[in-house]
Amino acid sequence: MTIAEKPFIRPDGKEKVTGVGRYTADMNLTGQLYAKFRYSDHPHARIVRIDTSRAKAVPGVLAVLTHEDVPDVLYGGMVQDRRLFAKEKVRWEGDVIAGIAARTAAIAEEAAALIEVEYEVLDPLPDFAANMDAGASLVHEDWETYGADDSLDRSGNTLGHSSIVKGDADSAMAGADVVVKSRFVADASQGAPIEPRAILAQWHGDRVTVWSSTQVPFAARSGVAHTLDMPESHVRVVVPLLGGGFGSKCDFHFEAHVAALAKAAKRPVKLVFSRHEEFVAPDHRREGMVIELETGANRDGTLVSRRGTLRLDKGAYCGEGGFFAQMAAMHACGPYKIQNISVDSYLNYSTNQPSSSIRAPTAPQTCWAVEQHMDQVAEAIGMDPAELRRRTLIAEGDEGPAGQIFDPIGIKETLEAALDMIGYGKELPDDEAIGVACGWWPSFGVPSGAYVKLNGDGTGTIITGAMESGTGAVMGLPLLAAEVLGMSPEDFSITYQDTDAGPWDMGSSGSQTTFNNGRAVIEAAKEVREKLLDMAADELEAHRDDLELVGGAVQVKGSPGTSVTIADLAGSGEPILGKGSGDVPEAPEVEASACVGRLGMESFLAPQLITHAARVKLDRSTGVVRVLEFAAAHDSGVIINRIGADGQVYGGVMMGIGQALSEMTMFDQDGRQRNPGLLDYKLQTVSDAPKIDIRWIEVDTPNAGPKGSKGVGEPPSVPTSGAIGNAIAKLVGRHVDRLPMTPERVWETMHTEGE
């Protein structure tokens, strides 16, 4: 059912693999300066005085900025809770006190160290769960004055509380055959893209161009305009090439800092983060979580009730992640038929690094806890874990956590496919075991737009605001245009990642690029098709209903010899241009009046369904776990480009293995990172990669993306840790209750008695 019958070679592939491609850090402008930041000296303190005089006196320094030098503007996604430069307080170690632009990066760094800051040091508040306690000190004392989304249920250090309520969970729990309680803790982790963050800004009169390694150029444009108090039309954001992001380069970050420095210095200014800065300065890392679950089940496998309490670490600022509490609550329910539900999820401030979008935010941690909990339920009722899932996974017509009625979905088919690929039930050595986990992830319907134009030689150009973060989503758009126009995908070039060229787009996040921009490209191509048919009808003296587009030409159906090439039509001098946006699908409406913190995700639009299975090997003397074989079965609707979709699963599974076994941000007691570098932050490498088998369960999904497709990018990381955790538990005899499941934690679990 895939559109691409043969592998489609990405247009951006050659320049990337040969090293010819230019990333933001590769760019240089005549006369450019170099930027450095002065960060906070404490995770939590009041600012008494800032003295920049010594920094300004350093030869080669052309600009030093603090909060006094930029508009006093609060900004943020769902809560406006921060400034470009810290003013009254610092709330984490990455808060920016000042920015410096100098002739060299070394001079800028020297000047940054000379800025004198006097503080009134406050006790850090890194314990995001304890920060909910009555009487706890506030990270933001004046939070009630902040502008915020009206749907956020805020109180004290809780910036967002969401609940999922269905039926009567308490009464149902009392009548269950068994009740299983679990508590899990997930540590924070990082996106850790290999390309460090880089920004270059240059002014032309009252307009600024910013080259940035961002996943969301239009959000960056809006952020610059808002914080520097200027029209959006005066801000242009360009992304040369992006060397990965995984969500960590979503949202507006440091573009305005660099633009302000360039304006003050009257020179282009370039910022490139060190690897240390890439870990500690961005307000994007995966959130730490405490997850408490309680499920009542009958011995036939019926899930009669679930209660849950989840506490999430938002860190010092909200950013774009104000909806995380609701997402976590939905994932605590999972893709299961549960008769009664009461889940409360709390998103809390702390003086830790802010958390925000990292590949499938909140889902991998919550799914890891839920899927291990499901295995515990299976054990309690004496049922095989795979059989429990067979009996409880959702299907077409079932009711979701908040009342959603599901369209055709293939989650049960993914279960059977994963079990088949991994050889579930086969005999294994004593040090090996197989674990299984299921999960889900929503599709996000948002506006997008595209233009398709034909060139005089019969080739085409797609102009889009969509962002290519390395996934190949934008690179796959020619497949859709080519199918509509009877052309080859190789006939199309793409103009993208420039806010002055393409129409607005959400950016590379939420697995939504093809889902949304693909519809826009198809609509634009259809407009071009109509123009070609009109022109060819005149040229061929035929009725347009008798014409078809095939092989780069318009021909009379059944008469290939009676045709005119697209090149001849496009070379006539008449512009042939189509524009499109496509209808934006909306999430199913549900009756969710019993829930609080409703932010529009009480139902999952065109849900993506996943089952993963892992065969692991345990060294009992050390606690070291190695994944030997992995099976990934996905319902992502109709697959448009198989080679690209497979690539997303390979990468997502490897990222999930890292989250399962090694990746974590370690904090000191005061909230400072202890391992901000690739030596101590343990990423998985190619030598850790197991054999990965992939199977696509293609369900033509209504109210979804092009051709009945859904997203692909984030789901591969969702159930990965859960599958590995369940395999480890079979070998250890107990579930490891802390993520990642490092050798030390596995060994400790083996040698700790009791449940």
CATH number where 68 lies: 3.90.1170.50
Which strand (E) or helix (H) includes residue 89? strand 89-90
- In this predicted structure, what is the pLDDT of residue 7? 67
| Whether residue 605 sits in one domain with residue 571 | no
List pLDDT tens digits, range 369-398: 999 999 999 999 999 999 999 999 999 999
| Whether residue 576 sits in one domain with residue 661 | no
| Whether residue 450 sits in one domain with residue 437 | no
CA–CA distance, 745 with 667 (Å, rounded to integer): 17
Considering the domain boundaries, does residue 410 fall inside one?
A: yes
Residue corresponding to tokens 């776990």: 625
The total of structural domains in the chain comes to 3
CA–CA distance, 332 with 341 (Å, rounded to integer): 10
Cβ proximity of 370 and 722 under 8 Å? yes
CATH number where 560 lies: 3.30.365.10
Q: Give the other-Cβ count within 10 Å of 611's Cβ.
A: 33
| Whether residue 293 sits in one domain with residue 380 | yes
Nearest Cα residue to 236 out of 215, 206, 273:
206
| Whether residue 343 sits in one domain with residue 206 | no
Cβ proximity of 424 and 613 under 8 Å? yes
- In this predicted structure, what is the pLDDT of residue 233? 97
CA–CA distance, 484 with 550 (Å, rounded to integer): 10
SS (H, E, C) 322-376: CCHHHHHHHHHHCCECECCEEEEEEEEECCCCCCCCCCCCCHHHHHHHHHHHHHH
Considering the domain boundaries, does residue 168 fall inside one?
A: no
SS (H, E, C) 136-160: CCCCCCCHHHCCECCCCCCECCEEE
| Whether residue 237 sits in one domain with residue 347 | no
| Whether residue 719 sits in one domain with residue 612 | yes
- In this predicted structure, what is the pLDDT of residue 12? 87
Nearest Cα residue to 702 out of 580, 599, 583:
583
Which tokens is 285 given? 């890392």
Residue corresponding to tokens 């076994």: 661
CA–CA distance, 535 with 591 (Å, rounded to integer): 51
- In this predicted structure, what is the pLDDT of residue 1? 43
Angle at 129 between CA 174 and CA 335, to 5 degrees: 50
Cβ proximity of 467 and 506 under 8 Å? no
Which tokens is 503 given? 């129409």
Which tokens is 51 given? 């003295």
Identify the domain boundary among 213, 244, 272: 272
Identify the domain boundary among 526, 557, 580: 580
The predicted model scores a pTM of 0.96
Helix axes 363-381, 642-661, angle to 10 degrees: 70
Nearest Cα residue to 468 out of 21, 167, 18, 4:
21
Identify the domain boundary among 535, 559, 580: 580
Considering the domain boundaries, does residue 430 fall inside one?
A: yes
Considering the domain boundaries, does residue 16 fall inside one?
A: no
| Whether residue 540 sits in one domain with residue 498 | yes
- In this predicted structure, what is the pLDDT of residue 510? 84
Which tokens is 655 given? 């990222």
Cβ proximity of 482 and 517 under 8 Å? no
| Whether residue 670 sits in one domain with residue 614 | yes
Residue range of the domain that includes 519: 446-580
| Whether residue 623 sits in one domain with residue 607 | yes
Considering the domain boundaries, does residue 177 fall inside one?
A: no
Which tokens is 513 given? 């690029």
Phi and psi of 235, rounded to 5°? -120, 125
User: What is the β-pairing status of strands 207-212 and 198-204?
Assistant: antiparallel
Positions in the chain whose pLDDT score sits under 70: 1-7, 754-755
Considering the domain boundaries, does residue 24 fall inside one?
A: no
Considering the domain boundaries, does residue 347 fall inside one?
A: yes
Considering the domain boundaries, does residue 739 fall inside one?
A: yes
CA–CA distance, 471 with 474 (Å, rounded to integer): 8
| Whether residue 496 sits in one domain with residue 420 | no
CA–CA distance, 356 with 190 (Å, rounded to integer): 10
| Whether residue 667 sits in one domain with residue 641 | yes
